[in-house]
Amino acid sequence: MKRTACSACGSPDLEQFLDLGDSPIADAYTATPDEDPPRYPLQVAVCGKCRLVQLLEVVPADVLFGTGYSFYSSASAPLSAYHKAYAEDVLAEHGTQAARDVVEVGCNDGDLLQHFKHLPHLGIDPSTGPAAMARDRGCDVLMEPLSLEAAQRLRDSRGPAGVVIANHVLAHVEDVSDCLAGIAHLMDDESVGMVEVQYLPDLLVNNAFDLVYHEHRNFFSLTTLEAAAVRHGLYVLDAELTDRQGGSLRATLARTGGAMARTESATRILATERWLNSFGAYEGMQGRAERIRDRLTGLVTGDMAVFGAPGKLTTLVAFCGFDVEQLRWCIDSTVAKQGRYVPGTRIRIYPPGEPEVPRDGFLLAAHNYAHSILAANPGHRWIVPFPAPLVLA
């Protein structure tokens, strides 16, 4: 289904600036090499009214996050370490609120939520496999997406939450307005909301078009996050930039406050985003993506493999037209992906250490972890695709 109105403000003024063609669902790894999964358009537009950047094709949630969804937070050691530090920050800064109740929207496999198990807590997530794992880890989990209707049921039964966490969730929801309405309803005047999203300016500056896939429906700046939140009585009190996923934004929301209560950090970030108000910030993305594609197809030759099978790999291979003829195999530490195939290709995914190192090196798909991966695997030839293709030997 093609979106006709903005996910945050409802405006019909959506202007497309990027078309990556048709691609399979990023995390729908296939069991056999000959499976041909459905493909859907990857077209991105910016709202002329509120400037939210969003995917035009809306694939149903049960297709995206059903039994085939293979992203598990705990499979990434750096991400697990990040979650541990994040939980420590929340408890240090908002311990009083956390003692009331911690609700994590999009808890995945409980990798973050487990650090709050000693407190009243609840995870909310529609992905069947990861949510089941969170339950196995001893977390209380509601297996459905957050909506205003779900939030009303939860508040009636549990009361308001002290802390509501939504890390890299708003990117995935079909209706940003409904999800933020749900978050606001779970909170009272003493609550805090901790929201983290991929940071749109970093995506644009780094030419990271591979972050565009069907599970990523919305892309935020602090300006657009604040505009969407204020519609539901939520105000940005604080914000900081992090290096997660190649550049992310962490914001603290409250039901009371406003510009007078905003920290200097949040004010500074907002001031740097004025360039996003012009359509010129977006219109060159198509040409840059096509140039990167043309460079990569010229560099990926000979005996090569892929290092890492994140969701963004599906977009990259689909847009570049790569298959097993160009990339013989892939390695990834996520057990649920091993033995399966990159969607829409015959590229098999192996655990680390299998098979032999390819003669001409690796295409680094997990480029947001480039520093740690290259340090742990010296002596190989690498192609790092973004922000522009770079060969390291």
- Residue 256: the pLDDT is 85
Residues 102 and 160 in one domain: yes
Residue scoring higher pLDDT (61 or 173)? 173
Q: What is the pLDDT of residues 336-388, one digit of tens each?
A: 899 999 999 999 999 988 888 889 999 999 998 888 888 988 888 999 999 99
Q: What percentage of residues in the chain have a pLDDT greater than 70?
A: 98
| DSSP for 80-117, written as a single string | HHHHHHHHHHHHHHHHHHHHH-EEEET-TTSTTGGGGT
Last residue of a domain, one of 260, 280, 300: 280
Is the model's pLDDT at 258 over the cut of 70? Answer: no
CA distance 184 to 228: 12
Is the model's pLDDT at 220 over the cut of 80? Answer: yes
Residues 210 and 275 in one domain: yes
Asked whether residue 25 is assigned to any structural domain, the reply reads no
Q: What is the pLDDT of residues 259-304, one digit of tens each?
A: 668 899 999 999 999 999 999 999 999 999 999 999 999 999 999 9
Residues 338 and 204 in one domain: no
- Residue 259: the pLDDT is 61
- Residue 69: the pLDDT is 67
Residues 213 and 236 in one domain: yes
Residues 200 and 233 in one domain: yes
- Residue 112: the pLDDT is 96
How many domains does the chain fold into?
2
Confirm if 75 and 334 have CB atoms less than 8 A apart: yes
Strands 192-198 and 39-47: unpaired
| Close Cβ partners of 378 (under 8 Å, ≥ 6 residues apart) | none
Tally Cβ neighbours within 10 Å of residue 125: 26
Closest C-alpha among 304, 274, 224 to residue 46: 224
On the 0-12 / 13-18 / 19+ scale of CB atoms within 10 A, 39 is middle
In whole angstroms, what separates CA 147 from the centre of its chain?
19
Q: What angle do CA 346, 347, 348 make, to 5 degrees?
A: 105
- Residue 328: the pLDDT is 95
Confirm if 14 and 47 have CB atoms less than 8 A apart: yes
**Domain, as residue range, for 266:** 73-280
Kindly indicate the confidence band of residue 61, based on its pLDDT and cuts at 50, 70 and 90: confident
Residues in the chain: 393
Residues 210 and 97 in one domain: yes
Residues 145 and 244 in one domain: yes
Lowest-pLDDT range, 52-56, 180-184, 356-360?
356-360
Last residue of a domain, one of 280, 310, 336: 280
Reported pTM: 0.91
Residues 198 and 160 in one domain: yes
Is the model's pLDDT at 324 over the cut of 60? Answer: yes
Is the model's pLDDT at 94 over the cut of 90? Answer: yes
- Residue 246: the pLDDT is 77
Residues 192 and 317 in one domain: no
Name the E strands within the chain: 14-24, 39-47, 53-55, 102-105, 121-124, 141-142, 163-167, 192-198, 218-219, 235-242, 248-254, 305-307, 329-331, 348-350, 362-364, 382-384, 390-392
Q: What is the pLDDT of residues 227-257, one digit of tens each?
A: 999 999 999 999 999 988 778 999 999 998 7
Asked whether residue 366 is assigned to any structural domain, the reply reads yes
Residues 225 and 322 in one domain: no
Structure-token pair, residue 161:
């939450």
Residues 354 and 372 in one domain: yes
Find the CATH number of the domain harbouring 202: 3.40.50.150
The per-residue pLDDT of the chain, averaged, comes to 93
Instruction: List the end-to-end C-alpha distance of the chain, in Å, as a whole number.
Output: 44
- Residue 64: the pLDDT is 79
Residues 98 and 164 in one domain: yes
Is the model's pLDDT at 121 over the cut of 80? Answer: yes
Q: What is the pLDDT of residues 66-80, one digit of tens each?
A: 656 667 888 788 889
In whole angstroms, what separates CA 151 from the centre of its chain?
22
327 three-class SS: coil
Last residue of a domain, one of 227, 256, 280: 280
Confirm if 386 and 292 have CB atoms less than 8 A apart: yes
Kindly indicate the confidence band of residue 335, based on its pLDDT and cuts at 50, 70 and 90: confident
Confirm if 372 and 318 have CB atoms less than 8 A apart: no
Q: What is the pLDDT of residues 10-33, one digit of tens each?
A: 999 999 999 999 999 998 899 999
Is the model's pLDDT at 106 over the cut of 80? Answer: yes
Strand order in the sheet with 14-24: 14-24, 39-47, 53-55, 218-219
| Close Cβ partners of 325 (under 8 Å, ≥ 6 residues apart) | none
